[in-house]
Amino acid sequence: MRVATSSIYNLGVFNMNNRQVDLFKLQNQLSTGRKILTPSDDPVSSARSLDLTQATRQNEQYVTNVKYANDTMALTEANLQHAIGVIQDIQQLAVQSGATTLTNAEKRMVEADIRGKYQELLGLANTTDGNGLYLFAGFKGDTKPFNEQGYGNVRYDGDQGQRAVQVSPSRQIPVSDSGSDIFVKIKNGNGTFTTAQTQPELPRTVRVGDGGSIQFSRDPAGGFVASDYRVDWDSVSGNYTITRADGATTVASHAALVGGVSALGMVITAQGNQPTAVNGTATFDAKLQANGGTGVVSPGVVADPVKWANPLNNQNYRVQFHSVPDPNNPAKMLTSYDIIDNDTASANYNTSLIDGWNYTTSTASAANPTATRTDSAGNPNSFPRKYTAGADIIFSQQTGETGALYPGWDFGGKISMDGVPKDGDSFSLEASRDYDLFSTIGDFSAALERYEETNLGGATFQNKLNTTLSNLDNALTRILTIQAGIGSRQKEGESVQSTNEDLNVQYKTTISKLTDLDYAQAISDFTQTQTYLDAARKSFSSIQNLSLFQYIS
Amino acid sequence: MGNGIYGIAVSGLKAAQIGLTTTSHNIANASTPGYNRQVIGQSAVEPTPTGGGFLGRGAQVDTITRIYNEFVGRQVQTAQAQAGYLTNLKSHLADLDNLLADPSAGFSPSLQDFFTGVQTVANNPQDVTARQSLLGLAESMITKLQTVDSRMQTLRSDVNTEIQATVGNINSITGQIAHLNDQIILSTTVGNNLPNDLLDKRDHLVTQLNQYVKSTVIKQTDGSYNIFIGNGQNLVVGNRSFTLGAVQAVDDPSRLDVAYQQFGVTAVIPSEMITGGSLGGVLEFRKEVLDVSQNSLGRVALALAQTFNEQHRKGQDLNGQYGGNFFQFPTERISAQPRVGGNQVSLTAELTSVRPFVESDYNIALDNTGTNYTITRLTDGQTATISLASGELTSATGFNAFGVRFKLAINPNVNPPTGPDLLAGENIGISFRPAASEVIANARNQGNADLQVSISDISKLTTSDYEFIFDGPDYRVVRREDGAQFNINASAWANPPIEIDGLSFRINAGNMVAGDRFTVLPTRGFADEMTVMIKDTAKVAAAAPIRTSSDTFSIASSANAANTGGALISSVSASVAAQGGVAAKKIEILFTAAGTFDIRDANTGTVLAANQAYTSGSNISYNGWTVQITDGGGPPAAGDRFVIDPRKNTGTANISAGVVTTMPINTDMKTPVAIRFETATRFNLVNPSTGEVIDPATGNRFQPTTGNIVDRSGNIVSGGNSLDPATGNVVDGGMTVQFSSQAYTSNGNISYNGWTVQITGVPAARDTFLVEPNTGGKADSRNMLALGKLQTTNILSGGTASYQGAYSKLVADVGVRANQVNINEAAQSQLLVQSQTKLAEASGVNLDEEASNLLIYQQAYLASSRVIQIAQKAFEEVLNIGR
C-alpha cells in the first residue's frame, strides 16, 4: 500500500482537531463544574434535572409554607390557650357561686367578675393576626366576627371558611378555625340532651302606651300566683289597676310604683313617665309553671346511644311531679312523677310515656283504659312512678308498668333528681342544641342576678348552675378538641416539613449526580487527552520531517 | 547506424523529459484539492526488421494517465453528502441545544418563580405587595418565553438565508460542471487521450456539490456527466445546467422552499425529496426539529395561559367580582355556541374590536318574565339591557355591548327548530377561546373564506401543524406530522362544532372553492402575543365566589297554641341563615297589647326589646332574621306569643367548601341556595330567604305558605300542593308527586347553578346546609391554591405532562436528537476521512515516490545524454581514422 503525502497531513490534522475538541469540552466542563453543558450531552439527565429543579423549588416553597402555617396555628393556639384559662376561671367562679353560704350581694360580686371574664373572651374571639385580619372570622378576614347585640347575645358575622396552606403537592393543611366552630358550635346539656327546670314566670316588664316600663318581680314574702295579668291605666285617676286572672286586683299610682310597691305577691316597680294617653291596657303572662320545690336535676346520661337514636324518641319530654300528703301521715308528702311528651308538634303531645294518660283531654289511652289520675273520691291521685330523692329517672319501661305509649320502650337514657319537688313542679328534657359560649355565660349572669335567697330560689339557681357547668364543660371540651386538632396539624406540618427537607436533600443529591462534574474523572480524562494530543503532535512533526527531498542534493 | 543510436538516445531523452515533467506536475499539485496523480505510459518504439533480427528504435511515451478509482471516488462523494448533511444538522441543532441549555437562565426558573408568587398570594391573599409581585413574576416569565421563542424565530430566518445561499452555490457548481463537460467532450474528441486535469476538476466539483446536496452522477459515453438530485431533477445534462431557486411557500409565505426551474417552469421540490448534503440537513432541521420545538414551546405557553385563565375566571377578586383573564392573548373572533339553553338556539358573540383580546367572560340572561335580556360582563358586573320585544338580539345585526356583537338565532339543526329566543329565566355564559397562532390561506386559493381555528381542548393539542382542505363538498384536515387524515363530510360540517385534535374549525365569513387549502399552525409563536392582562392587584382572583356553611340555622316560627288573637306569622325571611349574622337565641314575640309587643329571650324571659309597635304585615327583625306577623283572622291579642326558633343542625354531616364546575360562570352562581334534608336520606334545594322548594330540573318553585307551585316567571302552575314529610317530595292533594326530593349519598356530588358541593356524614332530618356568595372573603385563597395546583397538574398530551414536564420534554427531544446527530456526525467524518484516505492511497501524490521518480527520470535523461555523447565520440573516432 501507499500513502499520499496529503493524507498524512489531513489525517494528522483531523485527529489532532478531534483531540482538541475533546480537550475544549473537558476544559469547559472543568471550569463550569457542570457535567452536562448542553442537553445533547445527556438528554435524559438534563430533562430529569429540569423536572427535579422544579420539584426542589416547589419543595422550598412548601418549606416556607409550612413555616407560615405553623406561625398562624401557633397564634391560634396561644389564643385558645388563653380562652381555656378564662373559661376555667369562669368555671371556678360558677362553682364558687354555688356555695349556699354566699349572700345575694356576694353573688352579685361574682357576677361582676363573670362579666369581666365575658368581655375578655369576647376580646379573644375578635383577635386579629399580624396582618390585621380577624383570626376567627373564617374567610371574612376584615369583618369583626363577634358582635355583641346585648349582654349574652352575641352575633357571629364571620363565616365557616377554613384557610388552608399547600404544604406538599397533595396536601393542604387547614391553618385557621372559624369562630363559629370554636365559640358557637357547642352542644348544651350533656351533648345529647339537656335538662332544665321549667322557666320562672317572673320577672316581667310591660309598658302601657308611651309610659315608662313597669317591672314585676317575685316578692320574697310570697303570695305570688302564676296567672295572666292585666295592667289598666286610667289617666283620670292617675292610677294603674293590676288585675290577676282570678280577679284579685291592686291599684297604685305611677309615682307609687316608681317607689316600688309590694302587692299580689310581687314587687312592682315603674320607671320613667306615666302614659300620656287617656286610657291604656297591657297584659303579661306570668303563668309559666315555676317550680316551687327544691328539686335539682342532673344533666343526665345516655347509657346506650343506639337506643337513644330510636326514631320513636322525639327527645322532648317533661318530667312532672305530683305530691300529696300521705293519708296515713299528713305531715309526710307522697311524691310521684310522670314522663310526658312535651313536643307541641307531636301527635302524642301531653301524653304520658309511662301509661299513655293524655293530660290535654284527661283521658286514658285505649291501650290502658284503667289509667287514671284521680282516686275514687275524685281527688288527684299519684302519678305512675314513685319519686325517691337522689334516684334515677329512667327513660324506659320498668317492670310492672302497663299501657306504655310505646310498648317495651327503652330510650337508653336517664337523669337523676335530688331535693324535694313540689306538686306541679316539672323539668324539661330536650335534645341538645348548639349554644354559644356567650349565651351560656349571659344566662348564668342572669341567674346570678335573679338569685333569691330562699330554698326555692336556691333550687332554681342550682339547676341553672348545673346547666351552666355542663355547658362550660362542653365549651372547654370543644376548645380542647380544636386545640388538639391544631396540635395534630402542627405535628403533621412538622412531619411534612422534615419530609420536605429530606426530599430537598435527596433532590439536590440527585441533581448533583445528574449534572455535576466528577472532577477526579474529568481531570484524569483531561490529562489523558492531553497526552494523546501531545503524542499526535510529536509524531506528526517527526513524520513530516521525513522526506526524500532532504537527501537529494 | 550512428543515426540509429542518436535516434534512440533522443527518444530516451524525450521520454525521460516527459517523465520529469509529469513528476514535476505531480509534485506541483501535491496539495491541489481533487488532484489525482498522473503517470506516464512508456513503451519501446516498433523495431526495424533487419537481417540480424529486429533492431530496437528507442522508447516512446504513449499516454499520460491519472490514477483514479472511480468506485472509490463515488464512495467519497456519497460520504461527503452524508457528512455535509450531518455536519450542518449538527451545527443547527447545536444552536437550539445551546439555546435550551442553561438551567439557570431558561424558561424553567421563571416558571417556578411565577408559581412561587402564586403560593405567596395564597398565603397572604389580602397582601397587595404579594399580588404586585405575582404580576411582576408573570411579566418576567412571559419575557423568558418570548426570548426563547424569538431566538427560535431567528433560527428560522437563518434557515431561509442558508437555503438561498446554498441554492446559489449549487447553481454555480452545476454551471461549472456543465462547462467542464463541454470542454472534456471537445478535448476527448481531438485525440484518444483524456484531459486528466479537467476530469479531476469535474470530479472535485461533483464532490463539492455533494457537500451541498446529495446527487446522482451518470457518466455518458462521450465522457460527460449527467447529474440528478431528488427524485430525478436534472441539474446537469451534457453542457447544460438547470438552476435551483429558493421560493416563498404558497402555504406559508414566511418559509422558503427549494424549487426547480426548467424551461421557465418553477416546481417546488418537496423537502423530504432533498436528502443529504447541507441543504438536506437544514431542511430536515426546520421540518423535524425547529417546527416541532417551536410548536412545543408555543403549546406550553398556550396551555399555561389558557388553563391559568380558566381557573382564574372561576375565582373572585378583592372587589367581590368574578376573576377575568389573567393573561392576554389573541382569542377567536367569534365565539359560537350551537344548541344553547332549553330552546337549543344558536348563540354567537363576535368581537368588534380590531385586536381580538378579551378580558372577561360574558353572560346573557333572559329575565323571569321573558321581557328583558341582560348581558353581564363578569369581571366587573357591568350590564347592558335590551328588551326581547325589540328583536335586536335576534336580528341579523345583533346587539352590540362591551365591544361584542351578540346574536341569537334559530338553530336549523334542531328538529323541530325552536327559538330564536332563550327561555324565561335562562342564562348562558359566553367565553372566547384562544385562537390558533396562525391560519394561513394558501396563496392559490380561489375562495375568500375566513377560516377560524380555535383551541377547544388543551389536552388534545399536538405539536404538529395542520392543513385544512376543502375538497368540495367535503372537508379534510391533514396532520402534517404523520400525514393522518380527518375527513369531515358536508353534513358533519353543517352540524358544528367540528373538533379535531383539540382544534375547532369554523368559517367566519366568505366561501370556499374546491381545492382551497389553509395551513394551520396551532401554537407556533404563541408566546409572542402574550402579555399579562391584569394591571390592578385587586383584580387577582384569590378567593372562590361561593362559600358553604353547615353551621346554619333553619328558622322555625310558630304561634303559641294558646293565642287568642287572630294574627299569624305570615313569612320568615332568611328562613335559613348561615351562622354569620344570626344569633342563636330562641326568641319569643309577646304581645303586651294588641298594638305592641316585646321581644324576649324565650329561655330566660329577659326582655330584649320592649314595647315595639305592631303593624300588620310589617317586618319584625331581630338577631339577623326577619319575620312578618299579619292579622290573619284578626289582630293579635294581648298575651299572644310567637316563638322564633333558629334551629341548628343536629346531624353530624359536613359540607365541602364547594367548587365552580360549570364554565363560563352561571350568573345564578351567587344566588344563595339551601340544601335541606327533609328526611335523613332525602333532601331538597330550598330558597333560603323564602323557604320555597326548588325543582332543579325546571326551576319551578313550591311555595309552602300558599301550597302553589310557580314557574320562573311566578305564574302558578298548580295549587293545593304540599311537602310530603315522609319522602320530602312535593305532592298534590292526591299525593301525586309533582317533583321529587333528591336521594342523599355521602360524598356524592350535589350540583346547581354551576357549583358542586359534597355532603359527607350522617345528616338528620331538617338539617340544612347553605351555599352562598363569598362576600367579604378577603382572607380566602382557595382559588389561589387551585391555581397553584396547576403547576403539578398533568394537563398536556392527554393529561400526561405538566407545563414543566412538557418543557422538559422539548429540551430532552432536542437533546436526544442533537446527541444522535453528534454521534452519527463523528462516525460519518471518520468514514469520510477513511474513504478520502482510501482514494488518496491510489490517487494521492506521495512526494517520496515522486522524488524517487525524479531520480529515475533524471538518470534516464543523463544516460540518454551519455548515449548521444558516446555516439558522437564513435562518430569522431570514425572521422579521425580519415585524418
CA distances from A97 to A109, A196, A291, A442 (A): 10, 19, 21, 15
- In sequence order, what are the residues at sequence separation of 6 or more whose Cβ sits closer than 8 angstroms to the Cβ of residue A284? A204, A205, A206, A216, A228, A229, A231, B590, B592, B639
* Nearest residue, CB atoms, B580 vs list A41, A133, A156: A156
Q: Are strands B362-366 and B372-377 parallel, antiparallel or unpaired?
A: antiparallel
CB A271 within 8 A of CB A166: no
Indicate the helix (H) or strand (E) that contains A430: strand A426-431
Residue B865's Cβ-count burial label (10 Å; 0-12, 13-18, 19+) is middle
CB A443 to CB B604 under 8 A?
yes
Residue B305: all three cell numbers together = 395561559
What is the radius of gyration, based on Cα positions, of chain A?
Answer: 43
Distance from CA of B808 to the nearest CA of A (A): 5
Tell me which residues of chain B, numbers 86 to 125, contact chain A at a CB-CB cutoff of 8 Å: 93-94, 97-98, 100-101, 103, 106, 108-109, 111-112, 115-116, 119, 122-124
Amino acid at A527: T
Residue partners of B744: CB distance under 8 A and separation at least 6: B677, B680, B681, B682, B683, B759, B763
First-residue to last-residue Cα distance in chain B: 21
DSSP type of residue B467 = E
DSSP bridge partners of B607: B600
CA distance A317 to chain B (A): 16
Q: Which residue of B has its CA nearest to A60?
A: B116
Would you say B709 and B731 are in contact if contact means Cβ atoms under 8 Å apart?
no
Q: Which amino acid is at B271?
A: S
Q: Which residue of A has its CA nearest to B638?
A: A283
Rounded distance between C-alpha atoms, residue B705 and residue A355, angstroms: 38
Write out chain B residues lying below 8 Å of A151, CB-based: none
B residues 553-592 near A, CB within 8 Å? Answer: 558, 561, 578-585, 590-592
Query: Residue B573: is its pLDDT beyond 60?
Result: no
H helical segments located in A164-280? 179, 254-259
* Cα-based distances in Å from B452 to B153, B327, B455, B478, B519: 24, 21, 10, 16, 11
Chain B contact for A163 (CB, 8 A cutoff): yes
DSSP-based three-state secondary structure for B591: strand
* Strand pairing category for B737-739 and B730-731: antiparallel
Q: What is the DSSP string of B321-360?
A: SBP--SEE--B-SEEEEEEETTTTEEEEEEE-SSS-----
The answer to whether A205 touches A215, Cβ cutoff 8 Å, is yes
Q: Cβ contact (<8 Å) for A3 and B846?
A: yes
Which chain B residue shows the shortest CA-CA distance from A41?
B819
Which residues 803-822 of B have a C-beta within 8 angstroms of A? 804-805, 807-809, 811-819, 822
Nearest residue, CB atoms, B777 vs list A58, A161, A202: A161
Q: Are the Cβ atoms of B97 and A443 closer than 8 angstroms?
A: no
Q: Is B637 exposed, middle or buried (0-12, 13-18, 19+ CB in 10 A)?
A: middle
Nearest CA distance, A423 vs chain B (angstrom): 22
Average confidence score pLDDT of chain B:
86
Chain A residues within an 8 Å CB radius of B590: 284-285
SS3 A68: helix
Contact between A111 and A448 (Cβ < 8 Å): yes
Residue-level pLDDT at B605 = 63
CA dist., res. A224 & res. A216, Å (int): 11
Stretch among A464-478, B689-703, B833-847, B856-870 having the lowest mean pLDDT: B689-703
Q: What is the pLDDT along chain A (553 residues), one digit of tens a residue?
A: 788 888 888 888 888 998 999 999 999 999 988 888 888 888 888 888 888 888 888 888 888 889 988 888 999 999 999 999 999 999 999 888 888 777 778 888 888 899 999 999 999 999 988 778 898 988 888 888 888 877 877 888 888 888 888 888 888 888 888 888 888 888 888 878 888 776 555 666 677 777 777 878 767 666 677 677 888 888 888 888 888 877 788 888 888 888 778 888 787 888 777 887 777 787 776 655 456 677 788 888 888 888 888 878 888 888 888 877 777 787 788 888 888 888 766 778 788 888 888 877 777 777 777 777 766 655 656 788 888 888 888 888 888 887 788 888 888 888 888 888 877 778 888 888 778 888 889 888 878 876 665 445 577 788 888 888 988 998 999 899 999 999 999 898 888 888 888 888 888 888 888 888 889 999 999 999 999 999 988 988 888 777 888 887 6
The C-alpha atoms of residue B167 and residue B174 are separated, in whole angstroms, by 11
Helix and strand numbers (H, E) in chain A are 9, 21
Residue A143 touches partner B, C-beta closer than 8 Å: yes
Q: Using the beta-carbon criterion (under 8 Å), do A47 and B815 form an inter-chain contact?
A: yes
Residue B112 and residue A55: Cα distance in Å, rounded? Answer: 9
The predicted pLDDT at position B1 comes to 40
> pLDDT band for position B517 (50/70/90)?
very high
Closest-CA distance, A328 to chain B, in angstroms, reads: 40
- Partnered with residue A286 across adjacent β-strands are A227
B277-284 vs B70-99: helix crossing angle, rounded to 10: 30
- For residues A284 and A207, what is the distance between their CA atoms, to the nearest angstrom? 10
**Closest Cβ–Cβ partner in B124, B781, B852 for A548:** B852
Those residues whose C-beta lies under 8 Å from the C-beta of residue B402, and which sit 6 or more positions away, are: B360, B362, B375, B377, B382, B384
B68-75: list long-range contacts, CB under 8 Å, 24+ apart. Answer: B68/B36, B68/B199, B68/B200, B68/B203, B68/B842, B68/B843, B69/B839, B69/B842, B69/B843, B72/B835, B72/B838, B72/B839, B72/B842, B73/B203, B73/B207, B73/B839, B74/B217, B75/B835, B75/B838, B75/B839
Chain A residues in contact with B855 by the CB 8 A cut-off are 552
Among A2, A15, A40, A52, which would you mutate to test the B interface (most chain B Cβ atoms within 10 Å of its Cβ)? A40
- A216 contact residues in B (CB cutoff 8 A): none
CA distance B781 to B329: 26
Q: What is the largest CA-CA distance in chain A?
A: 167
d(CA B56, CA B44): 8
Residue B580 pLDDT greater than 50, yes or no: no
Distance CA B771, CA B577 (A): 10
Enumerate residues 6+ apart whose C-beta is below 8 A from A527.
Answer: none
Q: Compute the C-alpha angle A137/A142/A143, nearest 5°.
A: 60
Please indicate whether residue B410 or residue A449 has the higher confidence score (pLDDT): B410
Are A183 and A125 contacting, i.e. CB atoms less than 8 angstroms apart? yes
Asked if the Cβ–Cβ distance from A164 to B833 is below 8 Å, we say: no
Shortest CA distance from B641: residue in chain A: A285
The reported pLDDT for the residue numbered B759 is: 92
What number of other Cβ atoms are within 10 A of residue B633's Cβ? 8
**A41 close contact with B: CB closer than 8 A:** yes
Query: How many CB atoms neighbour CB A206 within 10 A?
Result: 26
Q: Is B610 helix (H, G, I), strand (E, B) or coil?
A: strand
Query: Three-class SS of residue A115?
Result: helix
Q: Flag whether residue B319 sits within 8 Å of chain A, measured between CB atoms.
A: no
Give the integer Cα–Cα distance in Å for B418 and B409. 9
> Closest partner residue to B778 among A53, A142, A176, by Cβ?
A142
C-alpha triplet A468, A470, A476: angle, nearest 5°: 100
pTM, full prediction: 0.81
Q: Closest residue of A to B849, CA-based?
A: A548
Which residue among A11, A140, A228 places its CB closest to the CB of B777?
A140
What pLDDT score was predicted for residue B601?
A: 73
B598/A contact by beta carbon, under 8 A: yes
pLDDT digits (tens, 9 = 90+) for B152-205: 999 999 999 999 999 999 999 999 999 999 998 888 766 667 888 999 999 999
- Of the candidates A164, A247, A284, the one whose C-alpha atom is nearest the C-alpha of residue B782 is A164
Between CA B744 and CA B764 the distance in angstroms is: 11
Interface size A-B, in CB pairs within 8 Å, comes to 309
Q: pLDDT tens for residues B172-186? A: 999 999 999 999 888
B358-372, B636-650, B811-825: segment of lowest average pLDDT = B636-650
Residue partners of A404: CB distance under 8 A and separation at least 6: A353, A354, A355, A356, A367, A368, A397
DSSP string covering B524-537: TTGGGG-EE---SG
Strands (E) across A76-184 are located at 146-150, 153-156, 164-168, 171-174
* Partner A contacted by B603 (CB < 8 A): yes
β-strand pairing of B568-573 with B625-630:
antiparallel
Taking contacts as CB-CB distances below 8 angstroms, the residues of chain A near B843 are 4
Cβ–Cβ < 8 Å for B438, B500: no
Is some CB atom of chain B closer than 8 A to the CB atom of A347? no
User: What pLDDT sits at residue B190?
Assistant: 60
> What's the first-to-final CA gap in chain A, in angstroms?
28
Q: What is the chain B residue with the closest CA to A45?
A: B812
B463 and B292 in contact (C-beta within 8 Å)? yes
A199 vs B contacts (CB less than 8 Å) = 603-605
Chain A stretch 61-90, residues whose beta carbon is closer than 8 A to a beta carbon of chain B = 61, 64-65, 68
Interface contact flag, A7 B841, Cβ < 8 Å: yes
Of A6, A50, A150, the CB nearest to B30: A6
Helices of type H across A98-128: 104-125
Rounded to 5 degrees, what are φ and ψ at B162?
-65, -40
To the nearest whole Å, the CA of B526 is away from the closest chain A CA by 22
Q: How far apart are CA B275 and CA B300, in angstroms?
A: 32
- Three-class secondary structure of residue B15 per DSSP: helix
Query: What does DSSP assign to residue B614?
Result: -
